[in-house]
Amino acid sequence: MKKPKRATAAKAKKGRKTSGSRTKTAPKRAAAPRRAPTARAAKKTSKDTGKDTGKATIRGLRTKLTQALRRVVELEAAADTDFLLDIPNRRGFERELLRATAYMNRYRASGALIVLDVDRLKPINDSFGHGAGDEVLKAIAATLTRQIRASDVVGRLGGDEFALLLWNLSETDAKAKALIFEQAIDELSFVFRGQHVTAGASAGVALLGAQSDAVRALEEADAAMYVRKAQRRHEPRIRLVNS
């Protein structure tokens, strides 16, 4: 009865060895190959890439457009500004005058236009050069700017001629203001090459109101300025004395 037991134990031992050997020698499973992207997935990826490229292009175009518009504004401002004095030139001042007269015509507002001519700028340029004349013009522009309100406009019509657009002034106030401008410029003094130099100015006034025309107002103020200049001819020309 003991012999069968031994046989059974040996058989079980043999079975364990066989099972172990099978486990050790079993081949490894190969990794499943990656599937190639389907045509639909590839098309979707291409579409997303195209969208990103299109958005980047649009952003770039918007940036360029913004820069171009900013440049246009800068060029327009430069076209309306006197490069030496940093105030409106004739083009810029006439534009402001047109706006003002249109407003006055519509809302029955009033104001005054003053055209002012520097009396002795040419002798200064001839005696000391245009650099000296530029210095005189800068001082005059600064003086006029200090004498006006924020709503008023001072511009250079060209050469030695200035213009001022003043709001809400009666005829008496406008003429008094013109005299103040003349006096302020008469009192300016400069020293060039050791010599003391003074300039001067003559101002003409035209009133602005509900029926005013910009072109006509400029003509009237200019004509009044020449009348005033004739009245001032008795004053000495450029005065040159040792400083």
pLDDT in tens, 201-230: 999 999 999 999 999 999 999 999 999 999
pLDDT in tens, 120-142: 899 999 999 999 999 999 999 99
Summary count for the chain: helices (H), strands (E): 7, 7
Gap between the Cα atoms of 109 and 151, Å rounded: 14
pTM, 2 dp: 0.70
CB 204 within 8 A of CB 112: no
Element (H, E) at 163: strand 161-167
Q: Token pair of 231, please? A: 């009245």
CB 74 within 8 A of CB 63: no
Gap between the Cα atoms of 179 and 187, Å rounded: 12
Distance (Å) of CA 52 to CA 39, 59, 60, 65, 201: 20, 11, 12, 20, 66
pLDDT in tens, 5-60: 555 555 555 555 555 445 455 555 655 556 655 666 666 666 677 777 888 888 88
pLDDT in tens, 55-80: 888 888 788 878 877 766 655 556 89
